[in-house]
Amino acid sequence: MKQNYPYRILVLSRWLGPFLLLVLSTFSVRAQVSGVVYRDFDLNGVRSDTLPIEVGIRDVSVQAFAGLSRTALTTTTNADGRFSFSSAQLPAGTPVRIEFSNLPTGDYEGPYGSGSGTRVQFITAGASATAINIGLNYPSDFCQGTDVKLATPCYVNGNSNLTDGIPPDEQTARVDALVSVAYTASGVASPTNFYPTHLASAGEIGATWGLAYQRRSKKLFSAAVLKRHTSYGPLGPGGIYVTDITSSTTGSFLDVSTIGIDVGSDSHSGLSGNKLLPNADPGPMTDVGKRSFGGMDMSEDDKTLYFVNLNDRKLYGLSLGVPARVPTAADVKSWTIPDPGCSNGDYRPWAVKMYRGKLYIGVVCSAETSQQQSDLNVTIYRMDPSVANPTFESVLAFPLNFRRGPADLTTDPLNPQNSCARYDRWLPWTSAWPTPCGAGTNPYFVMHPQPMITDIEFDDDGSMILGFLDRFGMLGGVQNHDPNGNGFYDGFTGGDILRAYNNNGTYELEKNGKVGGRTGSGVANNEGPVDASNTGGEFYGLDNWIFFGNVAHAEVTNGALSLIPGYNEVVTSAFDPIEGVFKAGGLKVFNNTTGQVNRNYVLYAQVPGLFGKASGLGDSKPLCDPAPVEIGNRVWFDDNRDGIQDAYEPGVDGIVLTLHDMENGGLEIASQTTRDGGQYYFNNRTVPAGIQFNHRYEVRMDLSQLPLLDITLKGARPISVAGGRLAARGGRQSAAVQRSYAISPLNRTDGNPDTDQRDSDALTTGSSAVIAVTTGDAGQNNFTFDLSMFSCPMLAPEKEAITVCSGTPVDSVAAYGLHLSQVDQVRFVLFTSPQSGTAMYSGGTVLGTVSATAGPGISTTALSASATADSIKRAVLYTPLINITNNTATPQTQYIYAIIFPTPEDPACRQSGETIVNVLPALKARATGATLSCSTTAVTLMGEALYGDDTPATSATFVWAGPGGFSSTAPNPTTDQPGMYTLTVGDGSCPASVSTATATVTADTSVPSLTATVTAPTCPTCLATISASAPGASVSWTGPDSYTSTAFVNEVTQPGVYTVKATAASGCSISASVEVVELGCPEPICVPIRATRIR
């Protein structure tokens, strides 16, 4: 597989070569400025498309600032990390400053090199500006390009703490328990083929699983693990050991029980110190996965060691420092890992992974109480250990109910009941010894796959890769006893490896071997999570062992994962990784694009005392160096004196800068001469002793270099003592005076984000310009250490005062300027109070910034009697957006100052011209209408003229206009017509200041509806009922004998005509009558009466 991998790349590149050339050529032709943002994994400043495969980075913001513009053209990189600007956007010959921002969190610039610039680059648009590239790197992604080693624990049968009376070659203690191999190892280990390097013996560390590597000190930490048939090391279940990789020596580091961390007791028993002797060791049958340590990882700054305590199910962090010191109880932090909702609270954490500042923790629901397979689940938590009260956020959870491949497929046709192929599912955790399977009537293979999530890795695209250890792999052995001391059994482990795609922050588990647009090697093999059609498969589908052309072991992985970014592969521990080699332990390496196998490596095979097919190896860890650090960037000519690198301002080559170690008395340790447009860099190549992390330095420039140079926009050249261009130190000087320079102001902002990327950072100290530098941590390159020099103008107002009415725009404000540089502009700033000195350069409201131009008619005495017409320029701001609304009762005064922009750092350069703007008060109109009704036939309109503060304007004029040609100049006229009336108020002292308001006169003359009815009287009461219905109105009745009533329903006895009047709220009314007719009821007989309604 190792040979096939590059061959496939070669064939693909040959086939795609002409096509890619065409695409890239077309891309370049269309793009005036283009480039790519990529991951510089090996930090060499050159993009690689072999190993490491340095992929493009999408969604990085790219801004192009053209010429003097402070407004950027913006684009973002595509999925391949590419970006471009067209010739219409950036015409050829345009000076451009390219800036890269919105980098992925935690990413830093790679080193400056032939294939990688910095976050700020200066170019001239044109056909040659098509490789504006930058490499980025997340520091912990770095791994040195050559001689990478991979460390892994090995397990040996027996008690490594007993040696008395045991032949040396049979002692458990003398066997390797921790080794390293070349990362590229393949084949079968031998003295001539990737032979492992001894790091520790079993007597030094016992059984360990978790590994954590402190890159800076080259110290590898290993933590104890509970595994049946093999003992803990000398520190017991709480033991953490440390290996010096440089010297390949190992010693005890810490028993965590001594600092108050309870990892449980040692449940081993009956272990011999002879690796060849079998043992029962029953205790771990219950305790594996519940005692001692689970996973372990190092923080990205190498200062904190994290591990999972299986006993109390907590995540711990030990503050170690660099180099690591033995922590005390005060250095311990812990967080309880939450139960994700497992049945009976049976949750078991193990895996822990630090990735981009967050910790990821893997937990399984073990179903050990319920013994229901449906209760088996896995959850991945994420937490941020840097916050005070971190929470555990579930980022992925899924059931483990899918069909898997059996760890062994041995089947005896004569004894089918003993088939091992039946173990094709994850099963609940159990302490019971399984029924043996295999060939014959007395099989001796044992297996019972029980899931433990033991490792997590992240691919270059952010996808999560999960390593599952079969718990039974930690319970079985080779020709070893059952827990009762009987038999000689061979145990099998059947782990797994799954992939979850990071879809914009949401993790999506593979289904039927497909995930995130990638198709793996085990589609439809019925051994993994199912898709919508209920078809199962695996992305990494070749996690098997072939025997005589057939799959003999369908699941051989062992739960440990390693991944070096850029290699496009994941390393996992496995048993029998190579076809034809059995009872072996080693590594399988899978391709992360295809799921195919890149290579396999056997570390041991058929070695007495080792664990054969029963989890013979622990975790694995690549031993990567810390990412180097580089500092520097650019020296430039700051023509506009603002301390900001503008696109047109050139870098200055030939300036000597020195680096001084401020933690060593300021000793000069290196020097660099600026080149390639003023750039300089200090790194491990240019500094003999290298650049240290988190270290104080100074970058210094001797100022005596500057008077010898004539620095202009065209570059720098040597000058004679009498020549050169004048500069600014307090003002303009005679052209015959030798040019002098000042260092630009430091740490200036320009209204755009990430100003530190383009500002000047030097401070003049004595005869030097000095930049104070504190390096960051590993890989935290810092290219913001820039330095600039600049080389003073006068202003006067064209008008000293302008008076306008409120609401009347100021048509323009102007100023004259003398000795303005070619990049100086005039900014007009508004204040509400007069300013003195240079106060107008701070605060105020910016009205606009304009360029000053020369032209006919400009006064030559505005600034200086000796000035000539062609030396004075006029700056005009048309229609300045000032506050022209005066809502008070008195004139308002505002002050417009013309100042030089960008702001000169030297106070003597901060000239200004004042124009006073007087705004007369504004009026506001207020109009009030009324309502006409049947009772009110005329109304009075109410008009008011007020200043903004509601003070009456006594001198105001009133003009009313309304329906039917209505007009009036009275403040409160009368009208009898409904409709809309408009009031306009004005002030004779400011004819342009008018205000209008409207009032509405409404009319309500609607007549209510009325219905009157009568009910004839009946005997013997002779009462008649008269009723009225008038919704929304009141009623009043009149009738015979002065009858009155305001009730809607009345009972009456007198015959005659009754009249009801309904009156609405508007006063409008309507009447109706009814008649009650006497029927003459005789005594005592009531005679019917007929009633007739009179309309």
Hey, is 27 helix, strand or coil? Answer: helix
Average pLDDT, the chain: 90
**pLDDT tens, residue by residue, 34-64:** 999 999 999 999 999 888 999 999 999 999 9
- The answer to whether residues 812 and 880 touch, using CB atoms and an 8 Å cutoff, is yes
What's the average model confidence in pLDDT over 1066-1086?
A: 77
Tell me: pLDDT of 596 over 80. Answer: yes
Class of domain 631-790: mainly beta
**pLDDT tens, residue by residue, 823-841:** 789 999 999 999 999 999 9
What's the average model confidence in pLDDT over 602-625?
A: 98
Instruction: Tell me the residue type at 795.
Output: L
SS (H, E, C) 350-372: EEEEEECCEEEEEEEECCCCCCC
What's the average model confidence in pLDDT over 845-856?
A: 88
Distance (Å, whole) CA 838 – CA 842: 8
Sheet holding 304-309, edge to edge: 293-298, 304-309, 314-319, 332-336
What's the average model confidence in pLDDT over 197-201?
A: 98
Tell me: pLDDT of 191 over 90. Answer: yes
Q: How confident is the model at residue 937 (pLDDT cuts 50, 70, 90)?
A: confident
Which segments within 775-857 are labelled E, that is strand? 787-790, 794-797, 801-804, 812-818, 825-831, 845-850
How many alpha carbons lie under 13 Å from residue 41 in its C-beta half-sphere? 24
CATH code for 923-1004? 2.60.40.10
Tell me: pLDDT of 273 over 80. Answer: yes
Q: How confident is the model at residue 859 (pLDDT cuts 50, 70, 90)?
A: low
pLDDT at residue number 428 = 99
Tell me: pLDDT of 731 over 70. Answer: no
Q: How confident is the model at residue 726 (pLDDT cuts 50, 70, 90)?
A: very low
- The answer to whether residues 287 and 280 touch, using CB atoms and an 8 Å cutoff, is no
Tokens of 144: 């040195």
What's the average model confidence in pLDDT over 19-32?
A: 45
pLDDT at residue number 68 = 84
Residue 324: CB atoms within 10 A of its CB come to 21
Tell me: pLDDT of 1088 over 70. Answer: no
Distance (Å, whole) CA 907 – CA 905: 6
Tell me: pLDDT of 723 over 50. Answer: no
pLDDT at residue number 720 = 54
**pLDDT tens, residue by residue, 407-455:** 999 999 999 999 999 999 999 999 999 999 999 999 999 999 999 999 9
Tell me: pLDDT of 21 over 50. Answer: no
Tell me: pLDDT of 1017 over 50. Answer: yes
pTM of the predicted model, to two decimals? 0.74
pLDDT at residue number 30 = 53
Among 473-487, 558-572, 574-588, 985-999, the range scoring the smallest mean pLDDT is 985-999
Tell me: pLDDT of 586 over 80. Answer: yes
Q: How confident is the model at residue 31 (pLDDT cuts 50, 70, 90)?
A: low
Distance (Å, whole) CA 572 – CA 558: 7
pLDDT at residue number 672 = 98
Q: How confident is the model at residue 1090 (pLDDT cuts 50, 70, 90)?
A: low
Q: How confident is the model at residue 1082 (pLDDT cuts 50, 70, 90)?
A: low
pLDDT at residue number 800 = 93
Tell me: pLDDT of 1091 over 70. Answer: no
671 vs 714: which has the higher pLDDT: 671
Q: Which of 613, 312, 286 is nearest to 446 (CA)?
A: 613
pLDDT at residue number 992 = 67
β-pair type (872-878, 812-818): antiparallel
Among 180-194, 660-674, 778-792, 793-807, the range scoring the smallest mean pLDDT is 793-807
Phi-psi region at 663: left, alpha or beta (left = phi > 0; alpha = psi -120 to 50) = alpha
What's the average model confidence in pLDDT over 852-861?
A: 69
What's the average model confidence in pLDDT over 890-897?
A: 91
Q: Assign a CATH topology to domain 1011-1076.
A: Immunoglobulin-like (2.60.40)
pLDDT at residue number 489 = 98
Q: How confident is the model at residue 28 (pLDDT cuts 50, 70, 90)?
A: very low
Residue with tokens 């967050």: 358
pLDDT at residue number 742 = 86
1012 vs 819: which has the higher pLDDT: 1012
What's the average model confidence in pLDDT over 327-348?
A: 98
Q: Assign a CATH topology to domain 149-623.
A: Neuraminidase (2.120.10)
CATH H-level, domain 4-141: superfamily: Immunoglobulins (2.60.40.10)
User: What percent of the chain stands above pLDDT 70?
Assistant: 92
Query: Domain residue spans in the chain?
Result: 4-141, 149-623, 631-790, 794-854+871-919, 923-1004, 1011-1076
Tell me: pLDDT of 587 over 70. Answer: yes
Tell me if 923-1004 shares its fold with 1011-1076. Answer: yes
Hey, is 565 helix, strand or coil? Answer: coil
Q: How confident is the model at residue 907 (pLDDT cuts 50, 70, 90)?
A: confident
Q: Which of 368, 372, 472 is nearest to 423 (CA)?
A: 472
Q: Which helix (H) or strand (E) holds 23?
A: helix 4-30
- DSSP code of residue 645: -
What's the average model confidence in pLDDT over 645-674?
A: 97
pLDDT at residue number 719 = 63
C-alpha separations of 364 from 242, 340, 735, 1033 in Å: 29, 9, 81, 78
Hey, is 383 helix, strand or coil? Answer: strand
Class of domain 794-854+871-919: mainly beta
What's the average model confidence in pLDDT over 234-239?
A: 99
What's the average model confidence in pLDDT over 209-232?
A: 99
Tell me: pLDDT of 8 over 60. Answer: no
pLDDT at residue number 3 = 34
Tell me: pLDDT of 722 over 70. Answer: no
- The answer to whether residues 632 and 679 touch, using CB atoms and an 8 Å cutoff, is yes
Tell me: pLDDT of 866 over 70. Answer: no
What's the average model confidence in pLDDT over 493-515?
A: 98
Among 187-196, 380-389, 633-642, 1017-1026, the range scoring the smallest mean pLDDT is 1017-1026
751 vs 84: which has the higher pLDDT: 84
pLDDT at residue number 737 = 36
- DSSP code of residue 427: -
Q: Which of 224, 152, 218 is nearest to 189 (CA)?
A: 152
pLDDT at residue number 727 = 34
What's the average model confidence in pLDDT over 152-161?
A: 98
Q: How confident is the model at residue 861 (pLDDT cuts 50, 70, 90)?
A: low
869 vs 947: which has the higher pLDDT: 947
What's the average model confidence in pLDDT over 862-876?
A: 64
pLDDT at residue number 223 = 99
Distance (Å, whole) CA 264 – CA 290: 8
pLDDT at residue number 955 = 83
Tell me: pLDDT of 862 over 70. Answer: no
Residue 532: CB atoms within 10 A of its CB come to 7
- DSSP code of residue 577: -
String of DSSP letters for 612-639: TTS--B---EEEPPPPP--EEEEEEE-T
Among 120-134, 338-352, 804-818, the range scoring the smallest mean pLDDT is 804-818
Tell me: pLDDT of 196 over 60. Answer: yes
Distance (Å, whole) CA 178 – CA 284: 22
